[in-house]
A and B are shown apart, each in its own frame.
Chain A
Amino acid sequence: MATVTAPVAAGARTPERPRRSNPIKQGEGRFGFAMIGLAVLFVTVFTAIPIVASLVLSFFSWDVISPPEFIGMENYRRLLDDGPVLRSFGVTIGMAIAIVVLQLSVGLGLAVLVNARAQVWLRTFFRTAFYLPLLASSASVSIFMGYLFDYKFGVVNYYLGLVGISNVPWLTSGFGAATTIVLITVWQQTGFTFVLFVAALMAVPTDVLEASQIDGAGGWRTFVGIKVPLISPTILFAAVVALINAMQLFDQPYIMTKGGPGTSTTTVTISMYQQGFQNLQFGYGSAIAIILLLLILAITGLQFLAARKLVFYQ
């Protein structure tokens, strides 16, 4: 009797598993460290240390040639007075909001329309068509879209001319250039949100949809009342990813307009590139980079806060 009760009592006192004595677990700790070693090394050297280094550098003045000099908050003070750089934050936020709104609404709309189709070949065709732009690099897209949106010879203005809208200054005016870059980014990236939404919509259980149909809900009410809440986690995910990407917009404006005309398409990342790598002001460039990071963290945080009210998790 005593031999039966003793182990129970012992087990109740020490809930931890007897790790040491288990021969299967022997040497597991060392093995684990060996397995993560490479990843930890590369992530530390090329991500973790650079984050800290960026922050530290932002308090220094450094032109790469002479040794860095500590200047405290001077870079940040300078940033607050730097009109063009401040404007680049405005340009970035404006373009990012436009890109995210368009990319999500167009992607969701197309996903709903494709999901309503029963024929498999049609669905495959549209999925392939909407995904293909993602196979081109943003550099390639910037190149051929630059030709298509050309003021004089471009195909876009040619067709618009046929319907009476002539000589739209797509890339030669400030608003036009920002609009063009938003449009081509949406053109390329919508396939990403589309694929996400199609997958999410397919996962909506059919019995829920049938139930709503029996209760007399029409297509629109089913969409707003049932589908959207059920796929809201995916909408949030797509919004966060799209926004983080859009806040880092660089390739398209750099290649198509070099940030111009004027500073109308100079995004934060272009500002940072100009200050850091063209003017060789690594300290000031780092300060801009840190503010961009804080901005992205703040916006993402806000999105998640808003999502607490709006997103429905099963």
Chain B
Amino acid sequence: MSSLVPTGGAVVVETPPPTLQEHRVPVVPRAQRSTLAQVGRVVGLLILIIAAMTALGPLLWTLTTSMRTPAEAFTNPPQWLPLHPDFSNYAAVFDKIPIERFFVNSVVVTGLIVLGQTVTCTLSGYAFAMVDFPGRSAIFAAFLATLMVPLQTIIIPVFVIVRYLGLADTTMSLVVSALGNAFGTFLMRQYFMQMPRELGEAARIDGAGHFQVFSRVYARMAGPAIATLAILNFSGFWAEFYRPLIFLQTQDNFTLPLGLVGLQGNLGTGSISVVLAGVVLAMLPSVVLFVVAQRYFIAGVTAGSSR
């Protein structure tokens, strides 16, 4: 890979001297550890606990405050446990904004992008990994070059193209302009490259066509990579704010993040618990998916760094 992770330019560092024997050397026994080291371990755990409280605190406050009446929402000290949960805010969100509409829009946009990219990235990733065609490496290099370009740099022409296609102010504008993804293609290519070529050759000899080799042999083994790509796209597009802000004008077409920011702007500080109820509702699908498919979220983070 040329753009994000370098493979060249290695600096040889002297390898540590070999150990005396080949067998595993026992680590220093527990009893001999200095008290200093033990203090260090306790301090380390304390730091971790404080960090975890910092990470979770704002989320917990959001959840409990969404269950307080608007009048008590801003009273300090904050209530960290929902002792007297009040769910009226959740009903209020539906009254104040068409949140069910935003929810459907978000589901449609995110779902179609996830599906569409699964198709475009899997097909192209397979071709770049397994199929010989003229100009393959040049086209792939051009793909990778687009990875460096930030969305903001191309947003004005993309907006113009979307308008030209007659998609201005539609949810479909968000979908269509996100169906190609060089990173997704790269991710799928890396995965297919690890697969043995002999399987496909054997299938060919048995009379399978090129597409059958792909669909019946290799695509069936690509499940984990497809899941990782799908989760990456879900996280990215479910949370997306920038393109919806620019592409959409009509409130009925808004996705959840854009709709919630609008809700926050319209309501004063008097009903923050209503806004927070909306925030919780918007985050719920992500949390559910995270519980179900945590390892693909983690795989998505490390996906780009593998060489």
Contacts and interface: CB of A to CB of B under 8 A. Distances in A.
Contacts of A54: 153-154, 156-157
Interface in B279-307: 279, 282-283, 286-287, 290, 294, 297-298, 301-302, 304-305, 307
B52 A125 contact: yes
A102 interface: no
B55 A191 contact: yes
A268 B153 CA distance: 11
B272 interface: yes
A50 B305 contact: no
Interface stretch (A72-80, A93-101, A168-176, A209-217): A209-217
Contacts of A148: 58, 61
A241 interface: yes
Indicate the member of A47, A148, A213, A254 with the most B CB atoms within 10 Å: A47
B27 to A, nearest CB: 7
A236 B257 CA distance: 32
A50 B157 contact: yes
A307 B7 CA distance: 11
Nearest to B272: A147
Nearest to B63: A144
A207 to B, nearest CB: 7
A233 B304 CA distance: 12
Contacts of B131: 28, 31-32, 35
B108 to A, nearest CB: 17
A51 B149 contact: yes
Contact of A143 (B20, B177, B264, B294): B264
Secondary structure dominating the interface of A = helix
A259 interface: no
Contacts of A138: 239, 241, 257
Given A47-B149, A57-B157, A196-B301, A307 B9 contact: yes
A255 B262 CA distance: 10
A51 B302 CA distance: 28
A266 interface: no
B148 interface: yes
Given A54-B157, A195-B302, A210 B19 contact: yes
A21 B76 CA distance: 80
Given A35-B126, A51-B146, A53-B156, 13 more contacts: A38-B179, A39-B181, A43-B182, A48-B146, A125-B52, A126-B48, A140-B283, A158-B77, A196-B301, A199-B302, A229-B13, A289-B156, A313-B7
Across chains A and B, which 4 residue pairs bring their CB atoms closest together, nearest first? A42-B180, A32-B133, A137-B239, A39-B124
11 contacts: A31-B133, A38-B179, A47-B149, A48-B146, A113-B45, A125-B52, A133-B59, A143-B264, A214-B19, A277-B246, A313-B11
Interface of A: 19, 24-25, 27-33, 35-36, 38-51, 53-54, 57, 106, 109-110, 113-114, 116-117, 125-148, 150, 153, 155, 158, 187, 190-192, 195-196, 199-200, 207-208, 210-215, 219, 226, 229, 233-234, 236-238, 240-241, 244, 247-248, 250-251, 254-255, 268-269, 272-273, 276-277, 282, 285-286, 289-290, 292-293, 296-297, 300, 304, 307-313
Interface of B: 4-7, 9-11, 13, 16-20, 24-25, 27-28, 37, 40-41, 44-45, 47-48, 51-52, 54-56, 58-59, 61-62, 65, 74, 76-78, 119-121, 123-124, 126-128, 131-134, 136, 139, 142-143, 146, 148-161, 176-182, 185, 201, 204-205, 210-211, 214, 235, 238-242, 245-246, 256-258, 260-261, 264, 269, 272, 275-276, 279, 282-283, 286-287, 290, 294, 297-298, 301-302, 304-305, 307
